[in-house]
Structure 1
Amino acid sequence: MIENDMENDIDVQLDERSSSTRTTASGQITIRRDAVMDDLTAAFSDPTVTNCRLSFCMFQPHGEVEYEQGVNLDFKDVLDLFWPEFISTMTRGNGLKIPILRGDFDRSRWEGVGRIICKGWKDLNYFPKMLAPAFMETAVYGKTTVDTKEAFLQWIPEAEREVLEAALHEFPTDTAELDDIFRRYRCRTPPTEQNLPRLLTAFGHVEFVQRSYYAAMTMKPVLKSVFGQFSREEFLALYDNPRE
């Protein structure tokens, strides 16, 4: 928790590494360039951080201060470092990205991600549209209205998408390629012309909702405090033309 006393500060201890993330009442956050995701999510695990005017002090891996008192390093700069690292290490998917769950990324870290999203939106209109709409809608409203079949087709590798889209247009007499795809997604139901659309919708629901449900529900109270004011249509419209 960030103290109101400007003289006080707190340390948020990080795993086994020697450095720590420090957040002061002035809203200063110290992060390491080689551990931006760890340090920022640790700092944002404190619910009071979203109400602070933040400044940032970044250290190089060898420990030297890169920018004093946040000079030349604002929140937008930090987000531009945070999101690529988060996407590469904590999500999966070909186009749209879905969070993965890791044992070392606990509840407080997911809440921290939610606060980073909220703070980015409130301060900068900065919205991570690389995260799948179906996941984000679930994380705000508890369920999704997105067409999970179409979302699934956007999420999978291009080679799989071409096979499935061709089968939706004209079901093949030889289903070997379809069978291979279904095995990869652990579906034992043989694909047919009649059940293929329904099964792809189910695949999408499993990937976008069920597998990442813990992350979505952990972030939900945080995200809803900011995005709950939007209707579903307004929220999904953020994907049309937000700052990324």
Structure 2
Amino acid sequence: MGDLIEFLKQREVSEEIIQTVENEKIDASVISLMTDEELKTYLPSYGDRLAVFGFCRRRGSSRNEPINLDDTLIFSPHPGPSSERVRRVVVVHRGQIMSELISHFSDKDLEDVDIKIQFVLPDGTREMAHDDGGVVRDCLSEFWKEFYDQCTTGNFCKVPFLRHDFGQQEWESVGRIIAFGWVREKYLPVKIAPAILEQAAFGYVKSDIVEDFLKFMPESERTVLEAWRSDFSIMDQEELIDILDNHSCRKIPTAYNATEVLLELAHKTLVQEPAYVIEQWARTLSTAWEIICDLSSLFETLQPNVRKVLKCLTFPETMTAHQKLIQKYLTTYVKNAEKEHLCLFLRFCTGSDLHLGRNIIIGFNELKGFQRRPVAHTCGCVLELSINYDNYPDFRSEMNSRRGAVFDGIPAHLRRIGRHQWEHLGS
């Protein structure tokens, strides 16, 4: 108890909170059994909760105390080029991935170990999945989805914003997650403005910072600013001035200063305002990304499109007439998918919502009736399809329900069920 109290004092937690923790006998062993939501009752600050989870994890491992699988790390020897190489299984709960992953990666030692990830479902059971890459990709996809929603602003290009409950440790941890995703699975947060990651990794911006800024803007405002660059005479100048005023611009727009003003606003928005975040990310990215030359081109490569996804589909060399019909249904489905649906399809099949260049191996089965459904195995990037579809609309309907079931279309009480166990639920 004393170590925890001293740690809370170092975090400058209020005396009232510390007294409550002491009175309720909330020590490290109790915290290891608590969820983030339960601990929030005692520690309202998100940053404090992450720090405490990390403190309890490190304390338990250093003292060889029993480790709770639900909230901490498992350490075991792992064969490798070095006898000191360690394997760590990072355990995260569905629905709490962002907070827990940030807490785990607050440990700098994770940079030198082999990391495996284990999901725990809301009912406390572990997902039946072997982490051979698919689970990591799934975890990264879910982490960045939550991060974009909770920690960024912007439209197509996202910009991190400062939160009162995110300090140096939390932002450094996010930087380590970026580096881990790249080293492990070549996964990058492609919605973060390239200019921000370049500034963190290289110390300067390589990409077109104005283009990044325009993609950050709402579409209605972006259209106005692009029109200003092309033909000032047809502009609704009052609307343009309102937009610039929203960004604290102190210059009057003319037919000749569009490039200058947009460059200044872009630098302010993408470099100056997130400077603290960039500084923390640079601690990791400046050394982890030495081999990356053109981040914008790499981002474009990772963005899925119909052509890329179709090229990934790998069918058996020899197929029956029924199998060829299902092949036609699947290619038609992909060709008609919007970008958002392509991302969901890739995540269903590979664990990643990005195009990582992995082939999707198509297999066939004879499931029918209530048992019929698409089944994905993300570790091997395998998609199993039934040959018992009578028409394309039925096939499309089940693909949408199966894909949406894991991500965006299931009832609230099932929304966090893992992809790897979905096939066990039946139809």
Shorter-chain TM-score bucket reads: 0.7 to 0.9
2:75 aligned with 1:25 = yes
Match of 1:35 in 2: 96
Q: Secondary structure, in 3 states, of the residue corresponding to 1:101?
A: coil
Distance in 1 (CA, whole Å) between partners of 2:284 and 2:227 is 41
Preserved contact between residue 158 and residue 191 of structure 2 (Cα < 8 Å): yes
1:1-244 pair list within 5 angstroms: 16-17=39-40, 20=53, 21-26=71-76, 27-61=88-122, 64-67=124-127, 71=130, 74-172=135-233, 174-230=236-292, 233-242=293-302, 244=354
Q: Describe the superposition over 1:195-222 as per-residue Cα deviations: whole angstroms up to 9, x where unpaired.
A: 2211111111111111111111101021
**Cα offsets for 1:97-120 (capped at 9, x unmatched):** 111111111111111111111111
Structure 1 position 42, deviation (Å): 0.8
Greater relative contact order (CA < 8 Å, ≥ 6 in sequence): 1
Structure 1: gaps (5+ residues): 1-10
Where 1:58 maps in the other structure, the secondary structure is strand
Q: Say if 1:146 and 1:234 are closer, same or farther in 2 by CA, change over 3 A.
A: closer
Q: For 2:155 and 2:148, locate their aligned partners in 1 and report how far apart those are by CA, in whole Å.
A: 11
User: 2:110 & 2:125 partners in 1: Cα distance?
Assistant: 22
2:389 is matched with: none
Aligned to 1:188, the other structure's residue is in SS state coil
The alpha carbon displacement at 1:174 in A equals 4.7
Q: Structure 2 counterpart of 1:148, which letter?
A: I
CA distance in structure 1 between the partners assigned to 2:301 and 2:170 by the alignment: 28
Aligned residue identity for 1:50: E
The SS at the match of 1:57 is: strand
Q: The residue matched to 1:241 in structure 2 has which SS?
A: helix
CA distance, structure 1, for counterparts of residue 289 and residue 118 of structure 2:
29
Quote the offset at 1:50 in angstroms: 2.7
Q: TM-score, normalised by structure 2?
A: 0.50
Distance 1:235 1:195 in 2: 29
Q: Residues of 2 paired with 1:135 and 1:154: CA distance? A: 13
Q: CA deviation at 1:143?
A: 2.0
CA contact (8 A) 2:194 2:295 kept: no
How many Å separate the matches in 1 of 2:232 and 2:149? 35
State the AA in 2 paired with 1:33: R
- Letter of the aligned partner of 1:218 in structure 2? Q
Q: 1:191 and 1:29 mapped to 2: Cα distance? A: 53
Deviations 1:164-196 (A, max 9, x none): 111211113651111110111111221111222
- Shift of residue 64, structure 1, vs aligned partner: 1.0
2:73 maps to amino acid = T
Partner amino acid, structure 2, of 1:216 = I
Q: Secondary structure at the match of 1:67?
A: coil
In structure 2, what residue type is equivalent to 1:210?
Q
8 Å contact from structure 1 (residues 41, 113) kept in 2: yes
Please provide the CA RMSD for this pair.
2.4
Instruction: Report the more deviating stretch, 203-212 or 43-52.
Output: 43-52
Higher mean alpha-carbon deviation, 153-162 vs 173-182, is at: 173-182
Amino acid at match of 1:95: F
Query: Would you say the 8 A contact 2:94–2:119 is kept in 1?
Result: yes
How high is the sequence identity, in percent, across the aligned residues? 31
Hey, what's the Cα distance between the residues in 1 that align with 2:121 and 2:139? 14
